[in-house]
């Protein structure tokens, strides 16, 4: 399995470590239903058989967090972008991106 | 047909012509009292115990592939009950006790071999952790022995005791643990369930659920709709895919675990040994092959195959533990799909949908649990209340915070 790191180019998956599903968004802790939403965010997963958006960390490379689209049935990688680009594209300032201190 | 020395003798004298298939090729009835989705070890054991312990014989087991095609035929065959937590240890010990009587119960040779499992420790801290685990086992009435380096050396002189980075200091031994012939376990349960009237429907895929309001009243299959009083799911790595058809969203991710077997060798390793400084476990099958494995690959996967980094990692673990296997050639390697739960422990519980029961989240430890999983799931389905030894394996524990996190790594399935 090889992952096209947006910064380093295509690299072996061995250089990366895996965090998990990139779609859960961290809820607003001040929301009235925050407890339910945090349960959902921490524990429940769609776990799709097919296209999966996921976080990988390029530990033995540029040390960037990368959002990868990969097929869980075939392991085929469809694409990858830097986590901060994914955040900017989603307009998501809710701390949904790993390694994001803001 | 009951298997006995007499049946072997008579068939030996009659050209082996008298053997019958171990179970019928059943055709689906329009309705059953209970349908179990998933014809692996857990599903078949559930059906067997429903019939034998609870008198519920109008049962069907629905299997997408054939019996033994999934994880039941892909695991590394280890059986043990050396857990730490009160939510786990009584359950796995009940499983161990069922293993000990399984072959007599099923009249089937499952090749249960109590050859002992030795978990090696390589540091003072790890020794303390293993001492604690051994003591926790003893508190649950389970045997365990903490061995020092000399005692381990007497058992296995060929290990690398002078490994510069991870010297072996000793090990935690459970002498009653061991291995079982994985295929024979599912075949034995299938035959036992069939003899009690259970229909085993192979090559029949569940494509949806029949419901009345919230209540589940049957399943849609590739061989037509089948109604049922109760439906139980025991589909391991496919849990999310099947449960989502009933609208459930679960604390489970599917991951791939690889396993390996070497060419056949003369008897070399007479127990199960695990390397404590990495993740590597090994035993030798009765055919002579070294059966071993390590960590899951670590990313979500429904492909029944893994990647090379874990192959390398497993090989490194093996070489660090016992360098003499370095020239053994690999015969086969394969992958299976694990239903990794968010705390590393299983779920045997009712679901929010009345009539639908869930047996899932076995991570990569489901094989040893097969008898007790079936026993407790049958109890739950028959009586609608959890069995004593599985009462903490609740689905709602993730919401309430009553996790059973044996390894203490939190809601990160690829670390369990």
A98 pLDDT higher than 90: no
Which chain A residue's Cα is nearest to B399? A39
C-alpha A42/C-alpha B404 separation (Å) is: 16
Write the DSSP string, B304-349. S---HHHHHHHHHHHHHH-GGGGGPPEEEEEEEEEEEESSSS-EEE
Chain A residues lying within 8 Å of B253, measured CB to CB: 20-21, 45, 47
Mutate to test the interface with B, among A49, A57, A59 (most CBs of B within 10 A): A49
A96 pLDDT higher than 80: no
Domain end call among B279, B313, B338: B338
**Shared-domain flag, residues B157 and B214:** no
Give the gap in angstroms from C-alpha A47 to the nearest C-alpha of chain B: 5
Q: Which domains does chain A have, with CATH numbers?
A: 2-90 (3.30.2270.10)
Residue B9 lies in a domain: no
Q: Which of A12, A20, A47 sits opposite B254 (nearest CB)?
A: A47
C-alpha B184/C-alpha B188 separation (Å) is: 6
**Shared-domain flag, residues B71 and B130:** no
Between CA B401 and CA B243, with CA A36 as vertex, the angle to 5 degrees is 80
**Shared-domain flag, residues B41 and B91:** yes
For chain B, say whether A12 makes contact (Cβ under 8 Å). Answer: yes
Q: Which residues of A7-27 are buried (b: 16+ CB within 10 A; e: fewer)?
A: eeeebebbbbebbbbbebeeb
- Answer whether B302 sits within 8 Å of A49, measured CB to CB: yes
For chain B, say whether A23 makes contact (Cβ under 8 Å). Answer: no
**Shared-domain flag, residues B66 and B173:** no
**Shared-domain flag, residues B241 and B355:** yes
CATH number of the domain bearing residue B304: 3.30.9.10
ipTM of the complex: 0.92
**Shared-domain flag, residues B163 and B125:** yes
Q: pLDDT at position A33, please? A: 96
Q: Which domain holds residue B35?
A: 21-78+84-107+182-252+343-415
**Shared-domain flag, residues B268 and B334:** yes
Domain end call among B338, B354, B373: B338
Domain end call among B318, B338, B358: B338
**Shared-domain flag, residues B37 and B172:** no
pLDDT in tens, chain B (416 residues): 899 999 999 999 999 999 999 999 999 999 999 999 999 999 999 999 999 999 999 999 999 999 999 999 999 999 999 999 999 999 999 999 999 999 999 999 999 999 999 999 999 999 999 999 999 999 999 999 999 999 999 999 999 998 999 999 999 999 999 999 999 999 999 999 999 999 999 999 999 999 999 999 999 999 999 999 999 999 999 999 999 999 999 999 999 999 999 999 999 999 999 999 999 999 999 999 999 999 999 999 999 999 999 999 999 999 999 999 999 999 999 999 999 999 999 999 999 999 999 999 999 999 999 999 999 999 999 999 999 999 999 999 999 999 999 999 999 999 99
Chain B residues lying within 8 Å of A17, measured CB to CB: 298
**Shared-domain flag, residues B332 and B187:** no
Mutate to test the interface with A, among B301, B340, B415 (most CBs of A within 10 A): B301
Residue B6 lies in a domain: no
Residue B292 lies in a domain: yes
Give the containing element (helix H, strand E) for A34. Answer: helix A34-43
Q: Which of A12, A45, A75 sits opposite B303 (nearest CB)?
A: A75
- Answer whether B240 sits within 8 Å of A46, measured CB to CB: yes
DSSP state of B363: T
**Shared-domain flag, residues B56 and B171:** no
Residue B272 lies in a domain: yes
Residue B2 lies in a domain: no
Residue B13 lies in a domain: no
The helix/strand count (H/E) of chain B reads as 10, 18
For chain B, say whether A76 makes contact (Cβ under 8 Å). Answer: no
Mutate to test the interface with B, among A13, A26, A41, A47 (most CBs of B within 10 A): A47
Q: pLDDT at position A86, please? A: 86
- Answer whether B300 sits within 8 Å of A47, measured CB to CB: yes
Sign of CA dihedral B321, B325, B327, B329: negative
- Answer whether B250 sits within 8 Å of A45, measured CB to CB: yes
Residue B7 lies in a domain: no
Chain B residues lying within 8 Å of A44, measured CB to CB: 249-251
Q: pLDDT at position A102, please? A: 46
Residue B298 lies in a domain: yes
For chain A, say whether B344 makes contact (Cβ under 8 Å). Answer: no
C-alpha B333/C-alpha B23 separation (Å) is: 29
Q: pLDDT at position A87, please? A: 80
CATH number of the domain bearing residue B235: 3.50.50.60
**Shared-domain flag, residues B138 and B154:** yes
Q: pLDDT at position A100, please? A: 58
Structural domain count, chain B: 2
Phi and psi at B390, nearest 5°, equal -120, 15
Residue B106's CB is within 10 A of a number of other CB atoms, namely: 24
**Shared-domain flag, residues B286 and B355:** no
- Answer whether B251 sits within 8 Å of A43, measured CB to CB: yes
């Amino acid at each position: 399995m090889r992952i096209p790191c947006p910064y380093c180019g295509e690299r072996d998956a061995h250089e990366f470590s895996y965090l998990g599903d990139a779609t859960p968004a961290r809820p607003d802790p001040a929301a009235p239903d925050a407890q339910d939403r945090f349960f959902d965010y921490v524990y429940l997963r769609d776990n799709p058989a097919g296209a999966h958006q996921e976080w990988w960390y390029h530990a033995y490379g540029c040390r960037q967090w990368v959002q990868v689209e990969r097929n869980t049935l075939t392991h085929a990688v469809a694409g990858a972008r830097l986590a901060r680009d994914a955040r900017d594209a989603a307009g998501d300032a809710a701390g949904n991106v790993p390694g994001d201190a803001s | 047909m009951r298997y006995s020395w007499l049946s072997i003798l008579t068939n030996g004298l009659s050209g082996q012509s008298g053997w019958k298939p171990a179970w019928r090729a059943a055709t689906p009835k329009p309705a059953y009292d209970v349908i179990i989705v998933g014809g692996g070890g857990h599903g078949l054991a559930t059906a067997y115990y429903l019939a034998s312990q609870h008198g519920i014989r109008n049962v069907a087991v629905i299997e997408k592939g054939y019996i033994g095609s999934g994880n039941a035929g892909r695991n590394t065959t280890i059986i043990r009950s050396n857990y730490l937590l009160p939510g786990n240890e009584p359950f796995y010990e009940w499983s161990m006790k069922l293993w000990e009587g399984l072959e007599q119960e099923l009249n089937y040779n499952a090749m249960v071999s109590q050859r002992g499992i030795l978990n090696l420790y390589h540091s003072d801290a790890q020794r303390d952790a293993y001492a604690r685990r051994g003591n926790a086992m003893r508190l649950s009435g389970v045997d365990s022995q903490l061995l020092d380096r000399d005692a381990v050396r007497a058992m296995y002189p060929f290990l690398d005791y002078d490994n510069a980075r991870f010297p072996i200091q000793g090990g935690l031994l459970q002498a009653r643990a061991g291995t079982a012939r994985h295929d024979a376990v599912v075949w034995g349960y299938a035959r036992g369930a069939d003899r009690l009237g259970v229909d085993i429907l192979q090559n029949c895929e569940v494509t949806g659920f029949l419901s009345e309001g919230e209540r589940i009243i049957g399943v849609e299959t590739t061989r037509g709709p089948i109604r049922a009083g109760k439906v139980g799911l025991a589909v391991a790595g496919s849990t999310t895919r099947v449960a989502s058809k009933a609208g459930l969203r679960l604390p489970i991710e599917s991951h791939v675990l690889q396993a390996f077997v070497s060419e056949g060798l003369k008897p070399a390793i007479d127990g199960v040994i695990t390397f404590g400084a990495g993740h590597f476990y090994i035993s030798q099958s009765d055919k002579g092959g070294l059966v071993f494995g390590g960590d899951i690959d670590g990313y979500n996967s429904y492909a029944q195959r893994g990647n090379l980094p874990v192959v390398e990692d497993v090989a490194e673990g093996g070489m660090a533990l016992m360098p003499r296997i370095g020239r053994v050639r690999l015969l086969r390697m394969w992958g299976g799909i694990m239903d990794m739960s968010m705390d590393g422990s299983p779920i045997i519980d009712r679901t929010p949908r009345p009539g639908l029961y869930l047996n899932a989240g076995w991570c990569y430890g489901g094989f040893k649990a097969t008898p007790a999983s079936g026993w407790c799931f049958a109890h739950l389905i028959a009586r609608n209340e959890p069995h004593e030894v599985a009462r903490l394996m609740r689905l709602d524990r993730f919401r309430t915070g009553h996790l059973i996190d044996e390894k203490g790594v939190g809601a990160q399935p690829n670390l369990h």
